[in-house]
Amino acid sequence: MSRQLKELMTKDYASRLEGVQDALLVKVVGMKANDTVLLRKQLRSKDIRLMVVRSSLAKRATEGTPLGAAFEGTDGTLALLWGGSDIVSLAKEVSRLQSDKAFPGFESRGGVMDGEPLNADAVQKISKWPSREEQLGILLSQISGPGSQLAAALLGPGGTLAGQIKQKAEEEK
């Protein structure tokens, strides 16, 4: 490959990955063409992008960015995944696809989260974390829980007293 072509590809990678903070690397080499089309369709439906890159060129393109750590110690052709609602949902999808028999050859290779490199085992662990939506639900229940308990404690005795007063009023009639 000529030097000019490599420079063009590096610039293309850099422009397409501009602003991306978290991403995962997967191996898709060896998958059949029909399988990769189906894979891309499934990922697109979840707002996840997949871009096949040459590691050496991607290293140059992401040098000095948060994604640069993802390509440390990599070689050959890999696919870069980014998007989705957060890195946890992305890791969950990669983990699901890796165990799916419809995509033989799909394999997690690591990635980057908050500028820190991840290996394949770390991606598996992250996939077990609660997603952003689940975390917000947990937080909301923790915030509203004490308030609802306080309201119940305040209203409980008042409700009992009101019931007793109503009962006495009905007896006197």
User: For 46-93, what is each residue's pLDDT tens digit?
Assistant: 999 999 999 899 999 999 888 888 888 888 889 999 988 889 999 999
* Sole residue written with tokens 């640069």: 68
Which phi and psi angles does 77 have, rounded to 5°?
Answer: -100, 130
CB 90 within 8 A of CB 26: no
Round to the nearest angstrom and report the end-to-end CA distance of the chain.
101
Q: How far apart are CA 76 and CA 28, in angstroms?
A: 11
The encoded tokens of residue 31 equal 């998958």
Q: Which residues touch 105 (CB under 8 Å, ≥6 apart)?
A: 27, 28, 29, 30, 31, 35
Q: How far apart are CA 73 and CA 164, in angstroms?
A: 76
- Which residues of the chain have a pLDDT value below 70? 154, 173
Could you tell me which residues are beta bridge partners of residue 113? 116
The encoded tokens of residue 78 equal 């890999």
CB 88 within 8 A of CB 131: yes
* Sole residue written with tokens 């707002």: 47
The DSSP symbol for 103 reads S
pLDDT at residue 158 in the model: 72
The encoded tokens of residue 8 equal 């063009």
Is 0.75 topped by the overall pTM? no
